[in-house]
Amino acid sequence: MKETGRERGKVGLRRRRQLPSPALILSMLALFVALGGTATALKGKWSVKRDDIAPKAVGTKQIGDRSVTAHKLHADSVRTTQISDKAVGPWKLRLGSAAVALGEASTTSKTPVDLGGPTATVQVPGGGLVAIQAEAAMRATGNNSARVYLYEPTSIPKPVMIHESGASNFQTRFSTPGVGAGSGVTNRVRAGWIVMPVSAGTRTFQLRYATTGGTAIFKNRVLRVAVIR
């Protein structure tokens, strides 16, 4: 049976359509290369290591606030040479605090009470030492004495007297260390820091007040606390 020209054209067209085009061949080749490349999926927790991250790919802008804390850092992984000058100071570590209460406050209590501070809070590391200094102007009515005490819920749960004055006019007293120094001193040159060990954590120191009788009045109260080790 003879094959007409139209029929031969249809057969040739079908044969040409069965052959892939060069563009299709290239796209398929690219797909195979992509699927068979060196990249591998990382599975499971902690599967991303340091060498999986390109240098400088992660900066401070990519790290959320407070997302990196001390317990996430390996020991000795951060050294002083890696910290910029003035990047870390007492204002960031809360190693020092000073508080002032200028206005007058009074009490008739014979046991130490809170008269609105001042209150100073510091962050104490393990094995830390804290230095404390306080001052206040005080007076008492009648033949009585005004008293100032130091208090901290954990370290000094029972308030300790650091100032005492029987003056009827305002007298400024400064804290000083040592045995028998509970009355403080009237000369700033003779004043000193009270140094004591304090357990680690956030520690809030406060001045409290009392009188031996009558009314005790206080003003210009200052409390300074510093972590020195």
pLDDT in tens, 47-82: 666 666 777 677 676 677 766 666 667 676 666 666
Residue pLDDT, tens place only, 114-153: 999 899 999 998 888 999 999 999 999 999 999 999 999 9
Residue 7 belongs to some domain of the structure: no
pTM for the whole structure: 0.61
Residue 40 belongs to some domain of the structure: no
CATH of the domain at 198: 2.60.120
Residue 91 vs residue 65, higher pLDDT: 65
Indicate whether 99 pLDDT > 60. yes
| C-alpha radius of gyration, the chain, whole number | 38
The whole-number average pLDDT for the span 19-25 is 70
Pairing of strands 119-124, 96-101: unpaired
Spatial distance between the Cα atoms of 146 and 202, rounded to a whole number of angstroms: 30
Residue 22 belongs to some domain of the structure: no
135 close to 173: Cβ distance less than 8 angstroms: yes
Number of domains in the chain: 1
**Domain residues for 178?**
95-227
Residue 34 belongs to some domain of the structure: no
